[in-house]
Structure 1
Amino acid sequence: MDFGNAGFVVAGLVVGFIVGMTGVGGGSLMTPILLWFGINPATAVGTDLLYAAITKSGGVLVHKKNDNIDWGITGWLTLGSVPAAGLTLWYLNTLHTAPDAMNLVIKQALGVVLLLTALAIFFKKRLLAFAQRHAGDRYRLSSRSLNGLTVLTGVILGTMVALTSIGAGALGTVALFLLYPFLETRRLVGTEIAHAVPLTLVAGVGHASMGNMDWSMLGYLLMGSLPGIYIGSHLTGRIPDAILRPCLALMLLAIGYKLAF
């Protein structure tokens, strides 16, 4: 194994460890790290999407076993996200003859979504408190309106994920908290993961069909991330959340600002 491939294993280990400890940071950390390694943006996004689909599949099995998934909400989200991802991939494919243009679009979109993700992580507690205070407002929405907003949320997430590989985690979770404040946290997290798997799989396969994929790199990332997630999940709570999340948010803000501007 040469130095470059060893670096991918270490990157997978570090990202997996952080995901295991905090539950966030997968795509928002992995894609910028791949850019730092000199991987072009399109390949970084495509590889990270399949990486996410594979790593989150195990989480779906666990959450399904524990009845932590609301399949109705998952279905409405998917109804919006998968077609939106398909349209976004079609748009990127029209730029495929001009790789520099496609990479510029992806890079700037990455910066914006990273900034939004950082804000979502940093203000998560305040957003959750707001959702709880206004939980009763949910009943002013008809089921049809709530389903429509869920589909719209899926459209937004599908577009962001297909463009950047980021958004289904922190942003998706916050959106679900705001739409479904009475949903138990364990079911909300399980529902978000269940939605992320088909979305990242479809988007990842779409990018792979355009050649935006490095299969050997994907293997090395998984080689590091699987034990990283296992170790990190056993250390959850050892470092206070009040320290971890702001540090992660500040790092994403810095990366996002650099990419966007």
Structure 2
Amino acid sequence: MTLSYVASGFSVGLLVGLTGVGGGSLMTPLLTLLFGISPTVAVGTDLAFASTTKAAGTLAHRFSGNVRWDIVRHLCLGALPAAILATFALKHVGALDKEIGQIIRYSIAFSVLLTVIALIFRGKMQAWVQAHPEKQLQGRSLAVATVVLGALLGTLVTISSIGAGAIGATLLVLLYPRLAPAEIAGTDIAYAVPLTAIAAFGHWWLGSINWELLVALLLGSLPGITLGSLAARRVPEKILRALLASTLTAVAAKLVF
């Protein structure tokens, strides 16, 4: 079974390297559907997995100057308290109960569908925002909207482990259309590090992290991400994103039905 976990980590890492998205939105459903791991443990383990991999990504983006720390600060103001509150809510209702596990399963499906929407319509949404500069938020309104976005993503990530990737990046594009793609990616990864770390710590407190599984996933994902990143320019992005979107749609349907 350990080899299967390593292979799964490699496969997901390869897709993340090729497309830039799909880590949580593929890993958590994969653990739930393929290996029969409870939704709560799948979420907790994936959060610990994400906090480790995103920390490495943040270092690379920091050295390249791709992180907008002012935006990261506003996102964290909303995301970190939301993650703590969501953890206490899970503790209060009983995170390992079967009924709660089913709710988390539906939350994962909902988050996966949001990721699909972000993948398919991101370009069109960005084009609309850029064509209507009068609709763009400025100053205090923009700061407040960023904090609210952080709170939404903090809750979503803590419950489902999904949201800090494609969904967060897409919403950042809408709020900050003038940011370069590298800045969007760097900022999205940077704020996700403390968020996933706090959420992972919360799930450790809840007892919903499988450490053996976590190590196996990391052993597979690191070479997978490396190979995917090297091959990314050779594979048409539209084909990859269409494949990923169709796969995620099927995953969401399977989780619900």
The alpha-carbon distance between structure 1 residues 98 and 13, as it changes in their structure 2 partners (threshold 3 A), is closer
Q: How many residues align?
A: 256
2:171 equivalent to 1:175: yes
The counterpart of 1:45, out of the listed 36, 43, 46, is 43
Bigger shift: 145-154 or 98-107?
98-107
Question: Which aligned runs of 4 or more in structure 1 are off by greater than 4 angstroms?
Answer: none
| Counterparts of 2:252 and 2:35, CA distance in 1 | 17
Amino-acid identity (%):
45
* Code of the aligned partner of 1:31: T
Shift of 1:100: 0.7
- Over residues 149-205 of structure 1, what are the superposed CA-to-partner deviations in whole Å (9 max), with x where a residue is unaligned? 000100110010000000010000010000000111111110000011110110011
Output the TM-score relative to the length of structure 1. 0.95
Distance in 1 of aligned mates of 2:133 and 2:178: 7
| 1:94 matched residue in structure 2 | 92
After superposition, where does 1:1-261 map in structure 2 within 5 Å?
A: 4-35=1-32, 36-96=34-94, 99-138=97-136, 141-261=137-257
Q: 1:214 to 1:19 in 2, by over 3 A?
A: same
Distance 1:73 1:136 in 2: 21
User: Mean Cα displacement is larger for which, 5-14 or 100-109?
Assistant: 100-109
Task: Name structure 2 gaps, 5 residues minimum.
Answer: none
Give, in whole Å, the separation in 2 of the partners of 1:135 and 1:233. 34
RMSD across aligned positions (CA) = 1.2
How far did residue 97 of structure 1 move? Answer: 7.1
**Structure 1 counterpart of 2:220, one-letter code:** G
Which moves more between the two structures, 88-97 or 50-59? 88-97
Please report how far the alpha carbon of residue 260 of structure 1 lies from its aligned counterpart in structure 2 after TM superposition. Answer: 3.1
Q: Tell me the TM-score normalized by structure 2.
A: 0.97
Q: CA deviation at 1:135?
A: 3.5
How far is 1:258 from its partner?
Answer: 2.5
**Secondary structure at the residue paired with 1:67?**
coil
